[in-house]
Amino acid sequence: MEQPSGITFEAFTMDAYDAVFGLWTACEGVGLSDADSRPNIERFLLRNPGMSFVARDGEVIIGAILAGHDGRRGYLHHLAVHPEYRRRGIGHLLFETALDALRAAGIKKCHGFVFRDNVRGLDFWRAVGWTVREDVRLISKDL
Ligand SMILES: CC(C)(COP(=O)(O)OP(=O)(O)OC[C@H]1O[C@@H](n2cnc3c(N)ncnc32)[C@H](O)[C@@H]1OP(=O)(O)O)[C@@H](O)C(=O)NCCC(=O)NCCS
């Protein structure tokens, strides 16, 4: 896939946390919670090294994705691209880069979570070849 000009992709490290959190906050469709606090994201990155990525225009972070696995399936979270940088292939490249890391770890299938009312987000995932599952409901419980 061709790299959008001037945009660089690199591993998500905690140096980028504040900028990424700001980006997520500014992007519709990204649901944030205590799971996204600095210590929890640090723990996620430590458990899943080299699988989450950011996109930069110079020093400015304009895209991000969290990716990891539990040993059997991969999971993507919080793919976001700054509104001024959309429709340039950056979202697609971010998740493909994460999928390459999951493939290298032997993971054969990956899931993601999208709010039911995030119509544009769902259109994106369909357009890039993902299946929107109608046969599964997410179940959750506070521990
Ligand atoms: C979803 C999102 C990450 C897409 O990022 P992006 O960099 O604009 O996506 P790309 O440029 O890689 O798009 C690839 C293809 O997906 C499709 N696509 C992208 N955005 C779309 C939209 N809003 N509606 C329909 N199709 C879309 C297109 O087919 C596009 O190819 P094209 O531009 O050649 O037509 C971005 O819109 C975003 O950050 N949205 C808010 C957060 C969000 O909803 N994240 C996903 C759920 S967690």
pLDDT over 80 at 143, yes or no:
yes
53-57 and 74-81 beta bridge pairing = unpaired
Helix (H) or strand (E) holding 92: helix 90-104
pLDDT band at residue 2 using 50, 70 and 90 as cut-offs: confident
Q: Rounded to whole angstroms, how far apart are CA atoms 55 and 80?
A: 10
53-57 and 110-112 beta bridge pairing = unpaired
* Residue 116, ligand 1, Cβ within 6 A: no
* Residue 26, ligand 1, Cβ within 6 A: no
pLDDT over 80 at 103, yes or no:
yes
* Residue 4, ligand 1, Cβ within 6 A: no
Tens-place pLDDT, residues 109-129: 999 999 999 999 999 999 999
Q: Give the domains, in start order, of the chain with CATH numbers.
A: 7-127 (3.40.630.30)
pLDDT value for 4 = 86
**Which of 124, 125, 128, 130 to mutate for ligand 1's pocket (most ligand atoms within 8 Å of CB)?**
124
| Predicted structure pTM score | 0.97
74-81 and 60-69 beta bridge pairing = antiparallel
Q: Rounded to whole angstroms, how far apart are CA atoms 13 and 108?
A: 25
> Over the chain, what is the mean pLDDT?
97
